[in-house]
Structure 1
Amino acid sequence: MLWDTHMHTHFSGDSEADSSAMARAAVAKNLSGICITDHLDYDYPDDPDLFIIDFDQYSKEIHKLQSDFSDVLTINYGIELGLQPHLAKKHHDLLQTEDFDFVIGSSHVVHGIDPYYPVYYEGRTETAAYREYFESILENIAAFDEFDVYGHIDYVVRYGPNKNADYTYKKFKDVIDEILRQLVARGKGIELNMAGFKYGLGHPNPTEEILHRYRELGGEIITVGADGHAPDQIAWDFEKVPGILKAAGFDYFTVFTKRKPEFILIC
């Protein structure tokens, strides 16, 4: 009985999903619980209001959802912060005011450009673009580490010119290992993000090798999410989750409630 702890509703600028429909889909998939983690990306390029949340409305809706589904599904209140170094204080201040269960820190914008857009890759090799993305994660961690897990560490390969056709962990081992060491040293987790399968990559984000390397380096916190933006994306390919986690050295997955981790054995 897994949890899906990374999903987006109409409070995210890239989703129109009804939160009740997301919860109903989770019940239909026999999940034990979910965490709704809508996007908050301050200073998003070209459209700075696209990923801004009205927290009064957001918290009110999630708390109503918790009450409505209390008999059949546990629902936690989360956020996915789009990290950029200059936003550290803004994110810190937010976390003093909102009572989140779970905070994902993610890299969506790299030095003013989202790798979702082709312009990020123009005028240089794909390898150089990917390396800049990974190096920006280190910049983000150095500036702000008040998240619980780092989201989809190799998000960039979803959108590169050749996606992950020429991408390997070994090609970027030096910088990826440093990311993982920094997270482990700070007691931070990573996520098994199953959306890589949805995007046709044939692997999760990050790849199985990176999950295994995190564990090898002493990492203990691993959450699971489908990164769904619509009800039919809830628990995407979750039948693969136990095998992926066990192959990476985990006998459990992690759920955060009130920012505290609970380690749940995989049956």
Structure 2
Amino acid sequence: MLWDTHMHSQFSGDSHTPQEDMIAAARQKNLKGICFTDHLDIDYPDEPETFLLDLPNYVSSVDAMQEKYKEVLPVRLGIELGLQPHLACIHADILSQYPFDFVIGSSHVMHGVDPYYPAYWENHTEEEGYQEYFESILENIAVFDGFDVYGHIDYVVRYGPNKNASYSYQKYADIIDEILKALIIKGKGIEINTGGFKYGLGHPNPTEDIIKRYHELGGEIITIGADAHQPEHVAFDFEKVPSILKEAGFTHYTVFKNRKPEFIPIP
């Protein structure tokens, strides 16, 4: 009976799934509630139209789903912003125009490149690529704090040449701690994103060690999401989530309504 608060639908450039299909999957898996967080990645390299979000129609569609399913499943309105420092003012303006419940800030593009593509790794060693990614997160946090949680903090590891074979929190602890401290100072949370299991990493994004470290440093806000783009990935491997959170020291997880955190006991 958890919430899945990171999911995509046909309004995201990398999904073709109707929202009703995602809702059907959530109901089948007995979720307590969901939040749609479709992509808005302005100034995406090479394909700038790919991750633009039709905001009026997206918001209208979620409104319709909220009304249709209000008796059976809470549906909340979220967005996943692809952060880049030069977009800070644009993002702030967009957020002022729509009644979002929840905003995920994520790093997909750093310094003009998405590490999803092999071209990034042609110019970086694995260690350099991971380090630059973490540095780019700090750059974003320094200029923009309009998000509620930072998404999949070690997203880059999904696409590294050896994925997480030689990656660990300990290897990048100095800069990851900087990220976590900066988020905590600004009252921001992180997510446990089970997409890492889907990508074969054997761990969530971020890893269990990072989740534990966030709590040790005083972080209290943690949301849960599978990063699903298709119905079969809704609540992916959620059975692992309660024990991961409890072992990290959490007694509650977080959902957002009207941009305010609600704390729910971990079952």
**Structure 1 position 197, deviation (Å):** 0.3
The equivalent of 2:10 in structure 1 is: 10
TM-score, structure 1 as length reference: 0.99
SS at 2:7 equivalent? coil
The equivalent of 2:176 in structure 1 is: 176
The equivalent of 2:101 in structure 1 is: 101
- Distance in 2 separating the partners of 1:190 and 1:18: 27
Q: Deviation above 6 Å: which 4+ runs of structure 1?
A: none
The equivalent of 1:73 in structure 2 is: 73
1:88 aligns with 2:82: no
Matching residue's letter, 2:136? S
Instruction: Show CA shifts across 1:11-43 (max 9, x none).
Output: 000000110000010000000100000000000
The equivalent of 1:202 in structure 2 is: 202
Instruction: Show CA shifts across 1:36-86 (max 9, x none).
Output: 000000000001111111111101110101111111100000000000000
SS at 2:223 equivalent? strand
Q: Within 5 Å, which residues of 2 pair with 1:15-164?
A: 15-164=15-164
The CA RMSD measured in Å over matched residues stands at 0.6
SS at 1:190 equivalent? strand
Structure 1 residues not aligned, in runs of 5+:
none
The equivalent of 1:191 in structure 2 is: 191
Q: Size of the alignment, in residue pairs?
A: 267
TM-score, structure 2 as length reference: 0.99
SS at 1:247 equivalent? helix
**Structure 1 position 240, deviation (Å):** 0.5
- Distance in 2 separating the partners of 1:162 and 1:105: 26
Give the % identical residues: 65
- Distance in 2 separating the partners of 1:181 and 1:207: 17
**Structure 1 position 95, deviation (Å):** 0.8
The equivalent of 1:258 in structure 2 is: 258
Instruction: Show CA shifts across 1:181-211 (max 9, x none).
Output: 0000000000000000000000000000000
Matching residue's letter, 2:102? F
- Distance in 1 separating the partners of 2:84 and 2:78: 19
Structure 2 residues not aligned, in runs of 5+:
none
Matching residue's letter, 1:215? H
- Distance in 1 separating the partners of 2:42 and 2:198: 26
1:235 aligns with 2:228: no
SS at 1:242 equivalent? helix
